[in-house]
Amino acid sequence: MFFIPGWLISMLTFPGVIIHEWSHKKFCDWMGVKVSKVVYFRFGNPAGYVLHEEPATYKQTFYISTGPLILNTTMTFLFGYFASQTYFDSTLYWLFLWIAISSGMHAFPSDHDGKHIVSKSKESIKNGGTVIHYLAYPFYWLLWTANKLRFFWFDLIYAVMLVYAVGGLQ
């Protein structure tokens, strides 16, 4: 398997990292959770992060944690579509394609984000939660699996499939 260090991938796909962190930030804003610090991109591990107060509800935790899956995927579709509307040999096509693929590559929430969802689900189940809280467990395992498959370029495959679905690959 062809190995490229994570820091280099983050550097080459920094628009996706920025959109990922922006997604966490936007969902904090939309869910009414105070943010104390945002780093959209940096050289290091993690490549970006959002520090916020502890969410009070499962809904807040779920949306803040899965914000990148929702918004990065949306941006991948959007910029993939923009690429499909430009000429293959134009700079704009390659710019849109780069943003689309880098966004898709950073769509998956981290294992840390998934653990937050499971933790809040456990609390909710203790307090009479619904079936939705039990679904957090298989959802976490899907996220965990997707993150482990990054070694095999699953994140790139995901991004390319999304861009291909909207006709962005010519």
pLDDT tens, residue by residue, 33-67: 999 999 999 988 888 999 999 999 999 999 999 99
Give the pLDDT band of residue 20 (cuts 50, 70, 90). Answer: very high
pLDDT for res 8: 80
CB 102 within 8 A of CB 14: yes
Q: 64-89, pLDDT tens digit by residue?
A: 999 999 999 999 999 999 999 999 99
For the CA atoms of 72, 78, 79, 82, the dihedral, rounded to the nearest 10 degrees, stands at: 180
What's the rounded Cα separation, in Å, for the pair 21 and 117?
17
pLDDT given for residue 1 in this prediction: 56
Q: Is the pTM of this model over 0.85?
A: yes
Domain boundaries, the chain: 6-165
Q: Residue 16: how many CA atoms within 13 Å on its side-chain side?
A: 26
CA nearest to 20, candidates 146, 114, 120, 104: 104
